[in-house]
Amino acid sequence: MSIAALGLVRMALAGAAAADLDDSSLRGSLSNVFSSTGYSRWDGVNFGVHAGVANMDTDFGNSTGPKVAYILRNTTVEKEYSPSSWTTLSSNVTSGRSYGAFLGYNVQWDQFVVGFDAAYNRVSGMETSASDSIGRQFKTSDGFYNDVTVSGQSTIKLLDYASLRGRAGYAFDQFLPYAVLGGAVGRFNYTNSATVKASGTDASGGGGSDYSINQTLTDNKNNAIVAGFVAALGMDVAILPQRVPARRMGVHRLRAGRRGSGPTSIRAGSALA
């Protein structure tokens, strides 16, 4: 799934954060912004909110495949040429808005920082669709000349998603570059339909009956749950003394695999700033 989020404010609260803010820093002096070790402290509870612009890359691919396979079940056409495996639909990219919040906890040993966070993202305008058709003419082993066309249409809308991530980083000066890896779940509404038009004529002289098929299958579901993983690279920057507040920047990726008759894959992401 990339979300370019603007203005993420992060408040990092260590166990003695108030005591760490000495009088000179509170009065505006920056002489003791960072410790003598040359890096900031990032341990403790951290939370924040974010809002921005999002995009979603959806690969519909052969999401119509199960329906096509059912329509052509127990046929020579499906057995020998597998129309259900034809890539009927394209990939689409759509943009929208995203906003949410996160809560996490870090532990720090010298400059090495590890922790976890949980995040929730609500999105709007993240809806996309695809429709197309593909046709082939071929002769099967039973002597029939066949004309088969598969048409598909899919629509999907991302409602929101949540993630739980582990994080590891290395602190220097006021910076904390980090990498995260974790799991995510997304909530979607989708509609998916497939139409098969097929006809065949016996050219073998064996007296077989001509056939004709024109059938459509459709399904839809609201609040479908799709699981995936999330990976990210980014950086936190301490703007004010003792890390309050800080600014988070990064590139996040959420990838969800196919669920049921939905899209083959969905990729969403975020660049938080």
Q: What is the pLDDT of residue 242?
A: 52
pLDDT for 270 equals: 45
Beta-strand ranges (E) seen in 125-210 are 127-139, 144-170, 175-202
How far is Cα 195 from Cα 5, in angstroms, rounded to an integer? Answer: 40
Of 16, 22, 18, 25, nearest in space to 44 by CA: 16
The residue among 46, 175, 51 whose CA lies nearest residue 116 is 46
pTM value is 0.69
Q: Which residues contact 56 (CB under 8 A, 6 or more apart)?
A: 1, 93, 94, 95, 96, 126, 128, 158, 266, 267, 268
Residue 261 has a pLDDT of 45
Backbone Cα Rg of the chain:
27
**Interacting residues of 267 by C-beta distance below 8 A, sequence separation 6+:** 1, 56, 57, 58, 59, 253, 254, 255, 256
Measured CA to CA, the distance from residue 143 to residue 141 in angstroms comes to 5
pLDDT in tens, the chain (273 residues): 333 332 222 333 222 232 232 333 332 333 334 455 667 888 889 888 878 777 788 888 888 899 999 999 999 999 999 999 998 888 888 888 888 998 999 999 989 999 999 989 898 888 989 999 999 999 999 999 999 999 999 999 999 989 899 999 999 888 889 998 998 888 999 999 999 999 999 988 777 889 999 999 999 999 999 888 888 788 888 776 554 444 444 444 555 544 444 444 445 444 443
> Do the beta carbons of residue 162 and residue 120 sit within 8 Å?
yes
Torsion angle, alpha carbons of 49, 53, 59, 64, to 10: 80
pLDDT at 191: 92
